[in-house]
Structure 1
Amino acid sequence: MGRALLIICAGVFVGLGYVSIGINSQTRSVTESTVSYAQVIQARNAAHTAIQVGMNEMNKDTSFANTHGESNKWKPIIDGDTAEVYFDVIQGTNGYRDTSIVRVHATAKSGGYKSKVISLYRRSNFDFVPTFTAAAAFATNNFTFSMGGSSQINGNAPSGSDCQDLPGIATMTDERTDYVEGQTSGSSNLTGNPEVQTDPDLSYSPVDSLIARLRDLEGTQFISGNYKGGLGTQDEPGVFFVEDYAKFTGGIGEGYGILVVRSDADMEYEDSDGSTLDMAGNVTFNGLVIFENAYNFDGKGTPTINGSVLVGNTDDYSGTIDVDISGNLTIQYDCVGEEYAKLAAARMVQTNKYKRLTTFEDL
């Protein structure tokens, strides 16, 4: 009986030993799996972080992507380990808008594990430029308005364009709309859908911030005195400020981008015959023209603005903006002009915007 009991006890201890070994093995396996999973997740997160850091660099300068292709990978340090990132830029344009797609490949490691992440981004519009809401938008209630001669304000889309018809003039309040309609009653020189419209969402903010930012950037051109320089091109639209007396003295036929006329600025154009006109003469400007605190907007002569005109004042301005559109001035709404303005601002600020389309993860 005693020997049988010893045999039974020995068997029990041996069985418990096997159970203990099994439990320890399972525990070790679970621990190893947990550590492995944690390292995989950490590697994956590091790859995502590398992509975000890389896109920040590209937002500052798009050439960053061009110089870091597959043969010249960028190698940032993420969580103490070196990641590898390279860019594949797929060029694309839609009209004057850059719609390039960027495929970003990132590989990162944690411990003995690597993770690869691929994200696709599309370049999109620069947001700071206000959306065109009319051929001429008055983002202020402190203005007077008169229109005469052969001048034209047209909010209807140019023939053959993909633009949508807009109002000829937009104001902030019904009272200002009634006032403008009274000044233009019976005139065939104001057209649009409708001719005049109240836009309660119309505001000069944050345009004032945009102007303040653009003014201090390297590359912004200030026009003053006798000016014979250029006004931008289709491929490289510019940002131009007129803050005092300026006379366009010849050879300027067409401009592109953003033109800001501030405070008591005075623009003239000296034609080839020596005659002087108040605003830009025969110049055609494609883009956004902003009159900020410009107490005297004289639209005489024969300039053409293809895009939109925005009139507004900053919070610290208490004067009245006198708008006199006469002569042969033409303000023609054009959505292409909005693209030129956005491109000009993007070129100056050198901050791009990319929208993530999709992301792929591969262990």
Structure 2
Amino acid sequence: MTIPFFDGHNDFLLRLSRKPEARRDLWLGNTGQGHLDLSRMKQAGFAGGLFAIFVPPIPSGNVAAFETGMPDPPYAKPLPPLMDHATAQPVALAMAGLLHWMERSAAQDFALCRSSVEIRAAMDTGRIAAVMHLEGAEAIGPDLDALHLFHDMGLRSLGPVWSRPTIFGHGVPMAFPGSPDTGPGLTEAGKDLVRLCNELGILIDLSHLNEQGFDDVARLSTAPLVATHSNAHAICPSTRNLTDRQLHMIRERGGMVGLNFATFFLHPDGTGGTDLGWDVMLRHLDHLITHLGEDHVGLGSDFDGCTVPDLIGDVTGVPRLLGAMAAHGYGAELVGKLAMDNWLACLDRCLR
């Protein structure tokens, strides 16, 4: 029996945006390319997920290195420069349009959802429940007016930064080994952004924020603390992973962490090899469960935005991961929580 699961993060929209001439085949065909398409999602039990709008760095000099993965550790990649909203907004709007197109082109199988009620209703009718997410808020200008526009289009989850500075705050650099405590926290505009997200019922994603920015959100926000795709820093000391202190804060606030499948954020030695076994992912899950509790851990694959273990390969490998959890000793109830139930309960708490 296939266990349905909810995925906290994917970059499928970025892949579609890069090949506009092939978008129908990539979504509705059987190309086998990348990690996701509608057919494989249905086959795997992908019941819903957060679909990221991500504006990639403009290739210039060593900024293009972000497109080709991380080097062997130790490494500390330079951050791309700040991107203004005039540059980012057209790209983000086009990706939002792609998500709406996905719904229209597969209305019997796929629904763009704006509330937890809509998410559950879509799943009850066998449709994949998609939630629009903005990874890095560059497309939102300093007056924040565009946030209302994106909210009307369906935006319900937002990360103030990706791993580059914005007018709202600072992301962690891609570095190993390293601490997430890498610089200043939210700007005044970032604090206003957090307040408006709370007002509108938009989930605030902490995954790429540095530690001081994380703490600022914790002080300002009235919502649960959520990191949609991050791992345990105690096991893999990447700047992108969460310290035990941060995990405890997320637990205290009724939040959530989605396990990131990216090999660079799994390997204890910071390497990106794809031949790692289930034991590494299970060590992260064990640690997250220990520090967060069984009700605050789920999946946040980063599909189509990272390199994943060979044992997973693409979305059709998620059932194998769930099977490895069961073989590891997780009972059926816990596997169900990690697969989907915890995400649905968290979204109940976060969305209006």
Higher-helix-fraction structure? 2
Q: Greater strand share, 1 or 2?
A: 1
Larger Rg, first or second structure (1 or 2) = 1
